[in-house]
Structure 1
Amino acid sequence: MMLGILGGMGPLAGAQFLLRLTLLTPAERDQDHIPAVLWSDPTVPDRTEARLRGGEDPLPALLHGLRGLEAAGCRAIAIPCNTAHGWFDQMQAATSLPILHIVDSAAEDLRRQSLEGATVGVMGTAATLAMGLYQERFGALGHAVITPEAGEMAELVTPGIALVKSNRVAEAYAPLAEAAARLIRRGAAAVVLGCTEIPLGIAAGPTLPFPVVDTIDALARASIRWSGRSPAELSSPAR
């Protein structure tokens, strides 16, 4: 069964998803891996601009990508972009293929780490947090959610994400790691890296001394389970 990857948001995150999908798949040879098509379209309009500042609607571009993946013979869709899930319902309504939800994948990764019901910190784009993508779904599962304060978003998280998007990945580590540490100090038992640029920045420096959920890895694991396999127990690069 072919997996469709609706990527390019950003392009490095989509490429990392395919890499982690490959590394986390138990395989002895090429033929044991999951057939996949990566649709990497970095021209999709900015999701945060659309949600928070009335920017161009990304939905037509997202649906165009879905149609391309359908035409390629894909049987399920993974979207390694958290903010794009603000359009999840419209995308799912437009296709008969299952779309694997990244927030549900993150919740499953918390269970994998024996963190059911734990208070968690969630880092993400301003739009992801404003839309409550994690707060709503996690709350239904008994997780209290702590998010960065406005100043932390402006000084640490948003600049860190921007550094990854501009390929200055190593520079992103310090602000993103500091934002994550502040969530732990405010009572979180773990931190969900709820923007797929964030794990890339965190992986560029020393391992964080507390549990994290890398949403790239979480979605890759969910994709492997969809294929009927069990993911390999490899460490996340964000740990």
Structure 2
Amino acid sequence: MTRVVGLIGGPVHSANLLIRSINYADIARMVTTKDFEGMTKLLCQCGQELQKAGAQSLVLCANVAHKAADALEEHSGLPVLHIVDSSAEKIVSAGHHRVGLLATRAVMEEDFYKARLIEKFGLEVLVPGEDFRERVDGLIFDELSKNPIAKEAKDHFHNAYEELVQRHKVDCVILACTELRLVFNDEDFTVPTFETTGLHARGIAEWALLEN
């Protein structure tokens, strides 16, 4: 979560930020045990701390953390610059409609992410099969933290990507997990592919420039 103010063009300027860093192991544990109430409580507490420190907006630097976005806005009184919006706006402007979603299990299955893509932006959202969804969190939290990442782990994500393209006939794919860029190279993409981390960062910068 961050405050972005006073971002002015020029070689010596940088964003004015308030940062509340959380041990992601705590978030990962809550996600894998489906303790979303606990995750929301933790994030709302952090949001209130940043609001009291003078933040003008909040940013969640993880896709799955956006399950708490609505509660965070309510408890802090600040807007959350939502990661879905940054990606979906680019997808819609590029003329895509049928979207494949690769992410943690909660992002692929819970309504908080897919519903925003569908209801706010009119997109059709497809996800890989249940076998992949059941094991994806273990792959992300255990295998993708290793160096080097095992080829077998990468293959699971490549196969899921191709399932979306070949079986579900999506016209683009969203990589909605920060670690997924570690398992794909640009040449692996067979349809337009949108990586949420970079698009979110750009959206935050654009917001800062518009606000100031």
- Tell which structure's C-alpha radius of gyration is larger: 2
Shorter-chain TM band = 0.7 to 0.9
User: CA-to-partner distance for each residue in 1:185-220, whole Å, 9 max, x for gaps?
Assistant: 1211111112222234335x8542321111111211
| CA–CA distance in structure 2, aligned partners of residues 123 and 90 of structure 1 | 25
| CA–CA distance in structure 2, aligned partners of residues 179 and 99 of structure 1 | 30
Tell me the equivalent position of 2:71: 90
Q: Determine which of 100, 114, 127 is the counterpart of 1:121.
A: 100
Distance 1:181-1:98 versus aligned 2 partners, 3 A rule: same
Q: Determine which of 176, 186, 189 is the counterpart of 1:194.
A: 176
Does structure 2 conserve the Cα–Cα contact (< 8 Å) formed by 1:92 and 1:98? yes
| CA–CA distance in structure 2, aligned partners of residues 109 and 55 of structure 1 | 29
Residue identity matched to 2:32: E
**What's the CA shift for 1:27?**
5.0
Does structure 2 conserve the Cα–Cα contact (< 8 Å) formed by 1:105 and 1:222? yes
Tell me the equivalent position of 1:13: none
| CA–CA distance in structure 2, aligned partners of residues 99 and 39 of structure 1 | 14
| CA–CA distance in structure 1, aligned partners of residues 137 and 85 of structure 2 | 23
Tell me the equivalent position of 2:158: 177
The structure with the largest helix share of the pair is: 2
TM-score normalised per structure 1? 0.72
Do residues 75 (structure 1) and 74 (structure 2) align? no
Do residues 131 (structure 1) and 125 (structure 2) align? no
| CA–CA distance in structure 2, aligned partners of residues 130 and 85 of structure 1 | 13
Residue identity matched to 1:74: A
The structure with the largest strand share of the pair is: 1
| CA–CA distance in structure 2, aligned partners of residues 44 and 143 of structure 1 | 32
Residue identity matched to 2:126: I
User: CA-to-partner distance for each residue in 1:147-177, whole Å, 9 max, x for gaps?
Assistant: 011112235x334312466344643543323
Tell me the equivalent position of 1:62: 43
Question: Counterpart of 1:92 in 2: which secondary structure?
Answer: helix
How much identity, in percent, do the aligned residues show?
A: 23
Distance 1:55-1:132 versus aligned 2 partners, 3 A rule: closer
- For structure 1, the 5+ residue unaligned runs are 6-24, 230-239
| CA–CA distance in structure 1, aligned partners of residues 108 and 155 of structure 2 | 21
Report how many aligned residue pairs link the two structures: 202
Question: Counterpart of 2:201 in 1: which secondary structure?
Answer: helix
| CA–CA distance in structure 2, aligned partners of residues 86 and 102 of structure 1 | 11
1:200-211 paired onto structure 2 within 5 Å: 200-202=182-184, 206-211=187-192
Residue identity matched to 2:179: E
Residue identity matched to 2:73: Q
Residue identity matched to 1:137: R
Distance 1:163-1:169 versus aligned 2 partners, 3 A rule: farther
Tell me the equivalent position of 2:145: 166
User: CA-to-partner distance for each residue in 1:133-152, whole Å, 9 max, x for gaps?
Assistant: 33312222221111011112
Tell me the equivalent position of 1:236: none
**What's the CA shift for 1:82?**
1.6
